[in-house]
Structure 1
Amino acid sequence: MQDCQKAHRGKIAVVTGASGGIGAAVCAKLNAEGAKVIALDRHDGPGSAGIDRRIVDIANTAALQNTVAQIASDHGRIDIWVNNAGFLERQAALDITVDDWSKSIDVNLTAAFFGAQAAARVMKDGGGGSIVNLSSYAGLKARPNCAPYAAAKAAIAHLTSCLAIEWGPLNIRVNAIAPGYIETPMSAWMHADPEQKAIYLGRTPLGRMGQPTEIADSVSFLASDAAGYITGHVLGVDGGIGRS
């Protein structure tokens, strides 16, 4: 049986959107399991032993690619890449502007693709690796007031399958997680609207919001050797709401 405390010992892991919420939890989990973690975000995050924090706007493709090249130069390889960075601004579809649309697609989809591409170019020369994308329950089941976000996350789910098929022969596994309602700053709107919160949690079979650590546990599993024969899969970590 795999020793969970050593699941990622010696691996080089990169996490985007790493300064808080799910990203911070993923960094802490991988770090605790022995990985050398490089945390990417537009903002600095809390200092943690073993975590190398680098400030980069992942929506700037050239800056992202340069950062990946520097990581490869510093460490010689990338074993795990986690596309966690996300952006959600709740708006009615009739009110969305071109700029609103572009910002959401740039962060939630375009940056994820080019991050995965840059990581895969390093991984193929190092014998393979694991990429974990963050999709969303909203990308698999329609919700109001988040059309650009939902469209991008739906695309992430399908992109995961496309990349898994194409990069499997390179020994690069690509999977995704589709979180439900997780206790993060992105879900703060639910606390401001108790009535809506009660409705959504009432549709969730487990009857509660998830915690960032629960997403981090799933990321760690999909990135680990224990999931070595899993690729192209979208794992719902949503309290069951995706099946309700």
Structure 2
Amino acid sequence: MIVTSVFVITGANGGLGVSLAREAHQRGFQIEAVSRSPRSHELPDEVEFTQMDCAVQDEASAYWENLAQKYAASQDIVLFNNAGKYLNKPFTATEMAEIEQAFQANFFSSVYMSKGFASHFNSGTIINLNSYAGLHPKADLSVYGAAKAAQAYLYAALREELPSGAFRIMNLYPQRINTWSEEREADTIDKTEAAQWIIDMALLRGSFEITDCTLVPFGETP
């Protein structure tokens, strides 16, 4: 099966993930949405959906094996690593199980998805929805920020490691997005506007090898 572009969007059970899927669908792209939660009623009917946990290695591996049977190895794939779990809690009050879960959700989920992607397809684009916390340490975000910082380092290094020109990588570091609220909160980025901007970035193919972007509320200066 050959189509122009396939957008694989993780964390597509609501919020920014659903906004990305809806925006990309409106622009005519093939969408493969992924979430560990059941399918959201907000997803357009035409969007393909798979319920699986990106933070479980075996599930991620099986997902890419199935996708490789569906699409040719030369298919243009754009992977949006959007799945994650926010943790705002003092380090000393955080249980070890919570720390491990935070790294599984915010770091290893993208590792498993990207590894499967690069193992089955010859080229493509990886867009990481990282976090401002991954660049700027802040109290009570130590664990969450550390997981996001690890993600940032990994993909910066992969730009140098993966075959030149084959895989384009972009890290986005948004500040607060109104992920779950239907109303625009103060000092937040509207998820619909953010999705439009992110899809625009996905189409600027030449920028992924060299650009890290800090996304702040629109109208403000980074």
Counterpart amino acid of 2:91?
A
Structure with greater proportional helix content: 1
For 1:13, which of 7, 26, 35 is the aligned residue?
Answer: 7
CA deviations over 1:125-182 (Å, ceiling 9, x no partner): xxx2111011101111122212211111111222221111112415110111111011
User: 8 Å contact 2:20–2:195 — kept in the other structure?
Assistant: yes
CA contact (8 A) 1:210 1:238 kept: yes
After superposition, the CA RMSD in angstroms is 2.4
Q: Would you say 1:152 and 2:150 are equivalent positions?
A: no
**Cα contact 2:9–2:17 (8 A) shared by 1:** yes
Q: 2:49 aligns with which of 44, 48, 53?
A: 53
Candidates 8, 33, 38, aligned match of 2:32:
38
Q: TM-score, normalised by structure 1?
A: 0.80
Unaligned runs of 5+ residues in structure 2 are none
**Percent identity of paired positions between Structure 1 and Structure 2:** 22
Q: Match for 1:227 among 176, 182, 205?
A: 205
**What is the deviation of 1:56?**
0.1
Query: Bigger CA drift: 98-107 or 149-158?
Result: 149-158
8 Å Cα contact 1:10/1:34 also seen in 2: no
Q: Is the 8 Å Cα contact of residues 40 and 55 (structure 1) preserved in structure 2?
A: yes
Q: State how far apart, in whole Å, the 2-side matches of 1:13 and 1:30 are.
A: 8
Q: Is the 8 A contact 1:18 1:41 kept in 2?
A: yes
Shift of 1:27: 0.9
What SS class does the counterpart of residue 59 from structure 2 fall into? helix
Q: Name the SS of the counterpart of 1:228 in structure 2.
A: helix
1:109 is the counterpart of 2:107: yes
What amino acid is aligned across from residue 219 of structure 1 in structure 2? I
CA distances 1:57-92 after superposition (whole Å, capped 9, x unpaired)? 111111111011111212234511010001013211
TM-score (norm 2): 0.87
Tell me the matched-pair count: 215
The counterpart of 1:178, out of the listed 160, 168, 173, is 173
Q: Which residue of 2 is the match for residue 23 of structure 1?
A: 17
2:93 corresponds, among 92, 95, 107, to 95
Q: Which runs of 4+ in 1 moved over 3 A?
A: none
Matching residue of 1:143:
138
Aligned pairs for 1:74-85 (under 5 A) are 74-76=70-72, 77=75, 79-85=77-83
Q: AA paired with 1:30?
A: A
After superposition, give the CA deviation of every residue in 1:11-51 in whole Å (9 maximum; x if it has no partner).
11111101111111111111122211011001121241321
Q: What's 2:194 paired with? A: 215
Residue aligning to 2:164: 169
